């Protein structure tokens, strides 16, 4: 049964939450009195549909249904999770919770996107404070996995466990903070850096652009994979963190920072910073800047995922959950109807798979077909364990036809027909679709080999049997158009 989430407040953060839930298969009900809320959330969703599915190498669930409601009560009724993202005014938030409590289901969890208030402040005066938690995300919510889950002793353990499990099921990383503090953890770091940056601009030391370059060209890249303490451990060399602290600890007593002071926000300072920011980024509209940000984040996150580091590990774990539940799970006996071409790939096209022409680059078609071949091998029994034992398939010849354009965010499927599967020979024909539209075909001839001798040899009896089953089931399929073709010389 599809779960339902309610989003209260449809600004940048609320819209990001709506996208995160929707694209992970939840139905979403939105309440926001802003007459522009539907347009704003629609624009956020357009960006999310283009970028989020490309983080996964397996298909996301079918998108849920989005509804906008005129009253708070209509929006929260029937919701499993209610995410409050109204402006940072404590009395407004408390009034919102009173309205939520009057209409929501008794076991619904209420999460707050607040970046500053403690959960105990939000729970104060509530009839059932134990179901209110802080679930503070980071923008863009649909791409960045961190969510600070802050609780108090009023939150029963089952509520905390359920909240953590629900957030994890969305591909988020719930960092559970058991001790509340103003601004939680991550924003306290950001506040410290922000204060220093304001002083550097005010004192004429650096411009907004120069400060941003210092971050993105230097420590920002290190923090994405290692964080603060592990970065400094590496900086300590072979002697590690103890040496680093002994070497650089005395610098903490030097008057380098102004963390306890805040420059006065005079009109002159605001004009100075706004002017520099306009000069730095003003050539782009906000939607353009969001797409630039998303393009880069997808590439960085996919790189981290490949190396199983930082936020990439969260993505890899989410893929594993989706794969176990999705259409690409199981072996031969789980496939169902073998008389039709077999689904061997289902995924979205990542942003970094596209080229200067705005469509999928040539090498990525081969990448997709190679993944489809790997899945077919797994189906017939040539899985990780089989390969580790010394048997595998090597591709001897490939022919790809590019029939239509494929763009970033497109949900593609590959279906595979086995043209030959006997002895050491395996001949596959892959067809790539977006919906009913044929995008490309890939014909691949493979030989079974011994990884010890690196020479062709017969596969196991189990693989022979699996190929025979598929051959018998697909015997009546027509020979596919394009199979056996080569590039013809012009007359």
Where is 241: in which H helix or E strand?
helix 240-248
Between strands 411-422 and 342-348, the pairing is antiparallel
> In the numeric block, which tokens belong to residue 41?
């959330």
- 280 CB contacts (<8 Å, ≥6 apart)? 207, 208, 209, 212
315 in Cβ contact with 305 (< 8 Å): yes
Spatial distance between the Cα atoms of 134 and 145, rounded to a whole number of angstroms: 15
9 annotated binding-site participant: yes
Q: Answer yes or no: do 158 and 85 share one domain.
A: yes
Q: Read off the CATH number of the domain in which 172 is found.
A: 3.40.50.720
What's the number of CA atoms in the CB half-sphere (13 Å) around residue 430? 32
10 annotated binding-site participant: yes
The pTM is what?
A: 0.84
Residue 96 CA from chain centroid, whole number: 30
Q: Answer yes or no: do 178 and 193 share one domain.
A: no
Q: Answer yes or no: do 233 and 205 share one domain.
A: yes
Tell me which residue of 457, 437, 432, 436 sits closest to 447, measured CA to CA. Answer: 457
Indicate if the alpha-carbon torsion angle 231, 235, 236, 240 is positive or negative.
Answer: positive
Q: Answer yes or no: do 236 and 356 share one domain.
A: no
Tell me which residue of 1, 2, 30 sits closest to 14, measured CA to CA. Answer: 30
Q: Read off the CATH number of the domain in which 333 is found.
A: 3.10.129.10
Boundary (domain end) residue, out of 153, 184, 215: 184
Domain assignment present for residue 379? The answer is yes
DSSP assignment, residue 390?
A: T
Q: Answer yes or no: do 216 and 72 share one domain.
A: no
Q: Answer yes or no: do 103 and 244 share one domain.
A: no
Domain assignment present for residue 484? The answer is no
Spatial distance between the Cα atoms of 455 and 467, rounded to a whole number of angstroms: 21
* Number of structural domains in the chain: 3
421 annotated binding-site participant: no
Domain assignment present for residue 81? The answer is yes
376 in Cβ contact with 409 (< 8 Å): no
Please confirm whether the linkage preceding 140 is cis (ω < 30° from 0): yes
User: Tokens 């992970």 belong to which residue?
Assistant: 24
Spatial distance between the Cα atoms of 332 and 416, rounded to a whole number of angstroms: 13
What pLDDT does 269 receive?
82
Boundary (domain end) residue, out of 122, 156, 184: 184
Spatial distance between the Cα atoms of 322 and 57, rounded to a whole number of angstroms: 10
Q: Answer yes or no: do 175 and 48 share one domain.
A: yes
381 annotated binding-site participant: no
Q: Answer yes or no: do 180 and 257 share one domain.
A: no
User: Tokens 């031969």 belong to which residue?
Assistant: 332
Domain assignment present for residue 309? The answer is no
- 248 CB contacts (<8 Å, ≥6 apart)? none
Spatial distance between the Cα atoms of 426 and 446, rounded to a whole number of angstroms: 5
Q: List the domain range (segments joined by +) for residue 275.
A: 187-283
Buried b (16+ CB within 10 A) or exposed e, 100-110: bbebbeeebbb
377 in Cβ contact with 345 (< 8 Å): no
Q: Read off the CATH number of the domain in which 193 is found.
A: 1.10.1040.10
Radius of gyration of the chain measured on its C-alpha atoms: 27
Q: Answer yes or no: do 173 and 207 share one domain.
A: no
Q: Answer yes or no: do 204 and 176 share one domain.
A: no
Tell me which residue of 387, 468, 386, 454 sits closest to 423, measured CA to CA. Answer: 468
Domain assignment present for residue 40? The answer is yes
What pLDDT does 457 receive?
97
Per-residue pLDDT of the chain (491 residues; tens, 9 = 90+): 789 999 999 999 999 999 999 999 999 999 999 999 999 999 999 999 999 999 999 989 999 999 999 999 999 999 999 999 999 999 999 999 999 999 999 999 999 999 999 999 999 999 999 999 999 999 999 999 999 999 999 999 999 999 999 999 999 999 999 999 999 999 998 888 998 999 999 999 999 999 999 998 888 888 888 888 888 788 778 877 877 777 777 776 776 776 667 778 788 888 887 888 888 777 788 788 888 889 888 889 999 999 998 899 999 999 999 988 888 888 899 898 999 999 999 999 998 899 889 899 999 999 999 999 999 999 999 999 999 999 999 999 999 999 999 998 899 999 999 999 999 999 999 999 999 999 999 999 999 999 999 999 999 999 999 999 999 999 999 999 999 988 877 76
Spatial distance between the Cα atoms of 6 and 72, rounded to a whole number of angstroms: 9
Domain assignment present for residue 131? The answer is yes
What pLDDT does 340 receive?
95
Q: Answer yes or no: do 142 and 198 share one domain.
A: no
Phi then psi for 124, rounded to 5 degrees?
-60, 125
**179 burial level (CB within 10 Å; 0-12, 13-18, 19+):** exposed
**430 burial level (CB within 10 Å; 0-12, 13-18, 19+):** buried
Tell me which residue of 161, 162, 154 sits closest to 180, measured CA to CA. Answer: 154
Boundary (domain end) residue, out of 156, 184, 212: 184
Spatial distance between the Cα atoms of 198 and 257, rounded to a whole number of angstroms: 12
pLDDT digits (tens, 9 = 90+) for 177-229: 999 999 999 999 888 899 899 999 999 999 999 999 999 888 888 888 888 88
Q: Answer yes or no: do 402 and 467 share one domain.
A: yes
Domain assignment present for residue 321? The answer is no
Domain assignment present for residue 388? The answer is yes
């Amino acid at each position: 049964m599809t779960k339902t989430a309610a989003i209260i407040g449809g600004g940048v953060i609320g819209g990001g939450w709506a996208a995160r839930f929707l694209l992970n298969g939840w139905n979403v009900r939105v309440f926001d009195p802003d007459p522009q809320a539907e347009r704003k959330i629609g624009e956020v969703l357009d960006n999310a549909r283009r970028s989020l599915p490309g983080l996964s190498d397996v298909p996301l669930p079918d998108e849920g249904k989005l509804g906008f409601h005129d009253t708070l009560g209509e929006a929260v009724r029937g919701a499993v999770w209610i995410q409050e993202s109204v402006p940072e005014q404590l009395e407004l938030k408390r009034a919102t919770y009173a309205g939520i409590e009057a209409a929501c289901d008794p076991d619904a969890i209420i999460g707050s996107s607040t970046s500053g208030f403690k959960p105990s402040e939000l729970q104060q005066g509530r009839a059932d404070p134990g179901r209110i938690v802080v679930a503070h995300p980071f923008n863009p919510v649909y791409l960045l996995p961190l969510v600070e889950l802050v609780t108090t002793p009023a939150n029963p353990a089952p509520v905390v466990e359920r909240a953590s499990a629900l957030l994890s099921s969305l591909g988020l990383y719930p960092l559970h903070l058991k001790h509340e503090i103003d601004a939680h953890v991550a924003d306290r770091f950001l506040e410290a850096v922000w204060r220093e940056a304001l002083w550097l601009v005010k004192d004429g030391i650096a411009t907004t652009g120069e400060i941003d370059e210092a971050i993105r060209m230097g420590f920002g890249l290190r923090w994405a994979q290692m964080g603060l303490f592990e970065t400094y451990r590496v900086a300590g060399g072979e002697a590690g963190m103890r040496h680093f602290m002994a070497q650089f600890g005395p610098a903490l007593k030097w008057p380098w920072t102004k963390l306890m002071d805040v420059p006065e926000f005079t009109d002159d300072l605001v004009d100075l910073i706004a002017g520099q920011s306009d000069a730095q980024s003003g050539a782009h509209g906000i939607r353009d800047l969001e797409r630039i940000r998303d393009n880069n984040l997808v590439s960085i996150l996919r790189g981290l995922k490949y190396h199983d580091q930082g936020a990439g590990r969260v993505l890899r774990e989410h893929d594993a959950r989706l794969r176990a539940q999705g259409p690409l799970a199981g072996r031969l006996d789980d496939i169902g109807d073998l008389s039709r071409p077999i689904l061997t790939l289902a995924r979205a096209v990542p942003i970094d798979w596209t080229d200067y022409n705005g469509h999928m680059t040539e090498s990525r078609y081969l990448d997709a077909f190679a993944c489809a071949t790997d899945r077919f091998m797994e189906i017939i029994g040539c899985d990780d364990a089989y390969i580790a034992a010394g048997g595998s398939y090597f591709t001897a010849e490939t022919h790809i036809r590019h029939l239509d354009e494929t763009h970033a965010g497109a949900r593609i499927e590959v279906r595979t027909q086995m043209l030959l599967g006997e002895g050491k020979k395996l001949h596959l024909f892959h067809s790539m679709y977006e919906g009913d539209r044929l995008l490309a075909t890939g014909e691949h001839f493979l030989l079974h080999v011994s990884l010890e001798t690196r020479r062709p040899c017969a596969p196991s009896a189990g693989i022979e049997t699996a190929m025979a089953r598929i051959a018998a089931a697909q015997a009546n399929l027509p020979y596919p158009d394009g199979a056996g073709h080569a590039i013809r010389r012009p007359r």
